[in-house]
Amino acid sequence: MARFLASGSRPTSTGTNLSRGQAVRHAFRTVPARFAIVVFTLLIGVWTLLLSLPIAAADGKATPVIDAFFTAVSAICVTGLTVVDSATHWSVFGDVIILLGAQIGGIGVLSLAAILGLTVTRKLGLRQRLLAKSDGGALQHDYNADSHASRGTSLGDMRGLLFAIIASTLIIETALMALFFPQLLLSGYDVPHALWYSGYLAITTFTNTGFVPMADGLASFQGNGFMLGTMALGVFLGSIGFPVIFALWRYLRTAHKKSATRSIGLHAKLTLTTTLILIICGWIAIATLEANNSATFGSQNFWETALHSFYTSVMTRSGGFSVVDPHLMHGSTHLVLDMLMFVGGGSASTAGGIKVTTLAVLFLAAWAEARGYTDAQAFGRRIPSETLRVAVSVVIWGATVVAVSTITITHISGYPLDRVAFEVISGFATCGLSTGLSAELNGPAKAVLAITIWAGRVGTVTLASAIAATKRSHMFRFPEERPIVG
């Protein structure tokens, strides 16, 4: 035993000894979640260094480290919360760095790693497939065009999913840029600025990042249904998730097949249905609660109120763009926005939050319990109990992160609880809607909020699986006894 300890080796489950370096590499291979956390953290460190350089600032001065760190986290984690004026503080170099961070974070570092592996080796190895499969949590699904049943994403189909990620990203962002460009020209921007701003907005809308490059923000587009509608569409497409986009593409590709079993799968149905329900409910609630607020929608006509409240509801998916200052809204509206932001968008998407499928699974389980059913069911399919346990874990971990962060920031900053909670939930859900509190926080509070953003993007399930390095199994089970619940 003494020789074993001195050698720096450790036994594995197979009985062989590994050096410390080999043990670390083995841990990354067997627990891809660790790889996600390490890569995200390293990227944030690199982006912090780049954004703190004098060349990254418009005035040629070095940006304070805490501000560069917060912006790096916000960009890599596709959040959009800012502690500096994004339109005036950063140089072209800084803007390019932010856009690259948003693009990498939006696609997903693990998916990007698998894509690079595919490009270099011309084939997708098992390790790369496992890494890509772990991106966005455990709720990715594969959709067979010839089968009505949805099932867990098979490793053999990851190649198609990764190509779908690349294709959908390029096609959607190019289409958004083409739609933004003429609107920016009509708004008075010259061709170079309209081209730059349209490309910038195309990336930040689809990745749900929320950064705006124009000095006046989106104020000039209030009431512009085409511009706001295009932005809402980009955020919606980014928030439903790549597996859903992949499923829809395969469904449309097989449109010539009239098979009765042709379907987009349960995951896509749950994601789309729940997303639309939340958007509509949020739309009605926001418009109703702000109808008598002269600082927001009270001074607008019916159609402007309908447009802006719908736009705001869509942005709670994780978009973060706003045409009305959330700080001016009622506290009751803030609570509605808090709930919508906490849910967020779809799994394996550019959006954050606990995800709409998590909410759907919990609701279906409660509905099944109320009706006396043994299993949760949806669209003619049974949802396994393992999925319900994951959903409960996600909500508990998410609520814990939000609660701890809110208490900490409220204590060290002294700001009111409702403002802090709004900012924390927006950060955790990588949404980006803000009352302006982020820029007012002191250094320690900014650091806590940045860590909250990081935890929200990495994902509560990823964090939990990374902490639980090994799966423990017992050769026995304890006697069953039911506590009183409710």
What are the tokens at 269? 């149905």
How are the residues of the chain apportioned to helix, strand and coil, as percentages rounded to the nearest 5?
65, 5, 35
Contacts of 182 (CB under 8 A, 6+ apart): none
> What is the domain count for the chain?
1
**Residue 422 is assigned to a structural domain of this protein:** yes
Helices (H), 290-384: 302-315, 331-343, 356-370
Q: Which residues of 100-123 are buried (b: 16+ CB within 10 A; e: fewer)?
A: bbbbbbbbbbbbbbbbebbeeeee
CA pair distance 441, 486, nearest whole angstrom: 40
pLDDT one digit per residue (tens) for the chain, 486 residues: 443 344 444 444 444 455 655 555 555 555 556 666 777 889 999 999 999 999 999 999 999 999 999 999 999 999 989 999 888 999 999 999 999 999 988 887 656 655 555 555 555 555 555 555 555 443 344 434 334 334 444 445 556 667 767 788 889 999 999 999 999 999 889 999 999 999 999 999 999 998 998 888 888 898 899 999 999 999 999 999 888 888 888 888 776 666 655 678 899 999 999 999 999 999 999 999 999 999 999 888 999 999 999 999 999 998 989 999 999 999 999 999 999 999 999 887 888 899 999 999 999 999 998 888 888 888 889 998 888 888 898 899 899 999 999 999 999 999 999 999 999 999 999 999 999 999 999 999 999 999 999 998 887 656 555 555 445 566 777 888 878 877
Could you give the 3-state DSSP secondary structure of residue 484? Answer: coil
**Residue 148 is assigned to a structural domain of this protein:** no
**Residue 142 is assigned to a structural domain of this protein:** no
**Residue 172 is assigned to a structural domain of this protein:** yes
Q: What is the dihedral of CA 41, 43, 46, 52, to 10 degrees?
A: -80
**pTM for this entry:** 0.85
**Residue 324 is assigned to a structural domain of this protein:** yes
What are the tokens at 15? 């009985």
**Residue 5 is assigned to a structural domain of this protein:** no
Question: Cβ atoms within 10 A of the Cβ of 1, count?
Answer: 5
**Residue 363 is assigned to a structural domain of this protein:** yes
**Residue 480 is assigned to a structural domain of this protein:** no
* DSSP 8-state symbol, 290: T
CA pair distance 407, 421, nearest whole angstrom: 9
Contacts of 129 (CB under 8 A, 6+ apart): 114, 155, 158
CA pair distance 134, 91, nearest whole angstrom: 35
Residue-number span of the structural domain to which 175 is assigned: 31-125+157-253+266-468
